[in-house]
């Protein structure tokens, strides 16, 4: 049965979800406080970068199944997909969820379904959302069904993973679970597992915490290998030949709205117990400062003002998302250093401090290139030309993206995160 669905929040999760439901026949009203987002959507356009999303949105808007507004409306289903950022004290800012829940109260009626998709600390549905929704006068769990169904998608593959990935539905009771399961079965081909709301919230957080802690292990290994003058990337490649070992890869830090934030939501709830989780966050948050230290060691041989070019500023390759990017933190650290001129090159980003769209102009008279993000656009650069325009041909590769021997043959001094080499030409 086709439903009218009001989706609050039209960001990286809300908009693809809205488009997916709309193209499967449901009538969708997308709600966002950003007038530019609303105006663009009503014209069949999007202002975020995600493969094929523009085509799906245009089709949904053209069909009349998808419209946007700055205010909620009466509907059969309300889905909250607003941000849950982290405050300065590392606790969750739930003000957007609260505001979204409050805004829908005048439009709720008997038989409605409310789904929280936003990632949230365990207990949010029971302790925050249900009390707000109770203000409607409806009996929650009977007249108003409520559940948490967290997104589990990867930017760059969102539309595919919305359909193919397994999904968790955590309801406040069995009726809520089954109603939300049936709703998402509209397009989800993966399995849908039912549980309670708090367990679903914890599952989403632990999925990302697992990855964050394992990346922290890789980053700690990188530091150890640098100190011992061996190559962390070789250690990882060989250790992973063991059938029960899967070491992750090191890098300049961990970013994005999930891995860099979700572990803190667990720490917030159980700070005395979440010791390993907290240590993992500390290690990963230390990596921009470590990259800075390596950079300054490399630049110590250069006299006078030093031009540093950072290639890539998003938190992962081939997307435009800079949320919690460790490269942004690296920029902040570098701009505090004396005699450093900063330039950033990223083909996926429209607005960023020190951004230069022309790669070759950016490289002119530079002393160090920091490969921060392994965008495909950087995979096959003209290194001969690159060396010619640079003042000092030095590279710090934080992703093991380029071939050291090839660069040495061209004449570069190549440095690799996780390997304490001297960058000498072999």
List the catalytic residues. Answer: 204, 258
* 197-228 and 275-285 helices, crossing angle to 10°: 50
C-beta of residue 399 within 8 angstroms of C-beta of residue 373: yes
C-beta of residue 128 within 8 angstroms of C-beta of residue 97: yes
Between CA 191 and CA 379 the distance in angstroms is 37
Angle at 393 between CA 390 and CA 398, to 5 degrees: 110
DSSP letter assigned to residue 89: T
Between CA 75 and CA 64 the distance in angstroms is 16
In this structure, what token pair is assigned to residue 350? 């429209």
The residues, any chain, with a CB within 8 Å of residue 322's CB and separated by 6 or more, are 255, 313, 314, 315, 328, 349, 352
Residue spans of alpha helices (H) in 134-196: 158-164, 174-184
Angle at 315 between CA 267 and CA 85, to 5 degrees: 40
In this structure, what token pair is assigned to residue 190? 């993966």
Strands 4-8 and 77-80: parallel
Q: Which helix (H) or strand (E) holds 221?
A: helix 197-228
In this structure, what token pair is assigned to residue 225? 């290998």
Give 30's strand partners: 7, 68
Between CA 29 and CA 36 the distance in angstroms is 16
- On the 0-12 / 13-18 / 19+ scale of CB atoms within 10 A, 3 is middle
Between CA 330 and CA 118 the distance in angstroms is 28
> Which of 178, 153, 185, 207 shows the shortest CA–CA distance to 15?
153
DSSP letter assigned to residue 92: B
C-beta of residue 277 within 8 angstroms of C-beta of residue 267: yes
């Amino acid at each position: 049965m086709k439903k009218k669905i009001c989706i609050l929040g039209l960001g990286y999760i809300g908009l693809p979800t809205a488009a997916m439901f709309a193209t499967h026949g449901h009538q969708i009203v997308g709600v966002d406080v950003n007038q530019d987002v609303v105006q663009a959507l009503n014209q069949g356009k999007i202002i975020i970068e995600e493969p094929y999303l523009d085509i799906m949105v245009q089709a949904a808007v053209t069909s009349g199944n998808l419209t946007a507004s700055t205010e909620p409306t009466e509907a059969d289903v309300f889905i909250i997909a607003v941000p849950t950022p982290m405050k300065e004290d590392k606790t969750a800012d739930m003000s957007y969820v609260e505001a979204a829940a409050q805004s829908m109260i005048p439009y709720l009626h008997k038989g409605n379904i409310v789904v929280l998709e936003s990632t949230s600390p365990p207990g949010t549905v029971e302790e925050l959302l249900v009390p707000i929704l109770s203000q409607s006068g409806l009996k929650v769990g009977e007249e108003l069904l409520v559940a948490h169904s967290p997104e589990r998608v990867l930017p760059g593959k969102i539309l595919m993973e919305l359909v193919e990935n397994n999904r968790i539905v955590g309801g406040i009771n069995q009726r809520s679970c089954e109603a939300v399961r049936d709703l998402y079965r509209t397009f989800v081909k993966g399995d849908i597992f039912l549980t309670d709301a708090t367990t679903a919230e914890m599952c989403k957080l632990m999925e990302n915490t697992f990855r964050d802690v394992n990346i922290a292990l890789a980053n700690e290994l990188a530091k150890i290998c640098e100190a011992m003058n061996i190559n962390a990337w070789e250690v990882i490649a060989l250790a992973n030949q063991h059938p029960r070992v899967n070491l992750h890869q090191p890098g300049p830090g961990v970013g994005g709205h999930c891995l860099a934030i979700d572990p803190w939501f667990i720490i917030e709830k159980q700070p005395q117990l979440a010791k390993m989780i907290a240590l993992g966050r500390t290690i990963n948050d230390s990596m921009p400062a470590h990259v800075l230290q390596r950079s300054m060691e490399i630049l110590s041989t250069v006299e006078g003002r030093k031009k540093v070019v950072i290639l890539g500023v998003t938190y992962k390759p081939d997307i435009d998302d800079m949320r919690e990017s460790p490269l942004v933190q690296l920029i902040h650290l570098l701009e505090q250093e004396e005699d450093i001129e900063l330039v950033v090159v990223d083909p996926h980003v429209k607005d960023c401090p020190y951004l230069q769209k022309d790669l070759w102009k950016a490289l002119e008279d530079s002393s160090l290139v920091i490969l921060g993000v392994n965008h495909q656009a950087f995979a096959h650069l003209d290194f001969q030309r690159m060396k010619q325009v640079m003042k000092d041909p030095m590279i710090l590769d934080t992703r093991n993206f380029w071939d050291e021997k090839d660069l040495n043959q061209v004449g570069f001094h190549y440095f690799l995160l996780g390997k304490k080499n001297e960058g000498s030409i072999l």
